[in-house]
A and B are shown apart, each in its own frame.
Chain A
Amino acid sequence: EAGVAQSPRYKIIEKRQSVAFWCNPISGHATLYWYQQILGQGPKLLIQFQNNGVVDDSQLPKDRFSAERLKGVDSTLKIQPAKLEDSAVYLCASSLAEGSNSGNTIYFGEGSWLTVV
């Protein structure tokens, strides 16, 4: 079974530029997450989708971050304009729908590493 796919793996941009990350979840997984992991910290949830609807985006800095999952499968996370403090790993993850027997196990991609200079 294919895992969660993310691209690009690495990106270096200057502050005030924009960047977009793409994620393809595991087939059949209705729930998709974007996490931000700053060096030395645990992952922090940015946004959670259930199919193509937003379940939780309370920690998404909406003045500069946006995410969409138009067809309930792939998702894109965009940052515009980027700040130095946005340097982090952006992890996409997916899980079966709420209430499934998987016990909320969440499967992660390898991450997109962003450096803002």
Chain B
Amino acid sequence: AQSVTQLDSQVPVFEEAPVELRCNYSSSVSVYLFWYVQYPNQGLQLLLKYLSGSTLVKGINGFEAEFNKSQTSFHLRKPSVHISDTAEYFCAVSPLSASKIIFGSGTRLSIRP
């Protein structure tokens, strides 16, 4: 079975400051890793994904994430946030052998001007 832990339910940051949203996962099999973003009153949108290869993955809107197999982590980072980044961010895993995807509980990113 797989599980995802997002360590922070809320992260407040000032505009133009860097941010890191933490994600740890547990799985007995190899997995794909994802970050999704959910803007207010909207569905989920894929930010980035790790399938294989380079452990540093770049996504849309200037976000990137680094896969760390030894620490079973997939933290999301952005060097300088904008007001428009205010949203809920979900980390997710999917076992290679199946199409199902398991989500974490989400981290709400709030940007202060």
What is the total of A-B residue contacts with beta carbons within 8 Å? 59
B residues whose Cβ falls under 8 Å from a Cβ of A: 4, 32, 34, 36, 41-46, 49, 51, 90, 94, 96, 98-106
| B4 neighbours in A (Cβ, 8 Å) | 42
* Pairs across A and B, CB under 8 Å, 30 listed: A4-B43, A41-B106, A42-B4, A42-B90, A42-B104, A42-B105, A42-B106, A43-B90, A45-B101, A50-B99, A55-B100, A91-B43, A91-B44, A97-B99, A98-B98, A98-B99, A103-B32, A103-B49, A103-B51, A104-B32, A104-B98, A104-B99, A105-B34, A105-B49, A106-B94, A106-B99, A107-B46, A110-B43, A111-B42, A111-B43
A residues whose Cβ falls under 8 Å from a Cβ of B: 4, 31, 40-45, 48, 50, 55-56, 91, 93, 95, 97-98, 103-111, 113
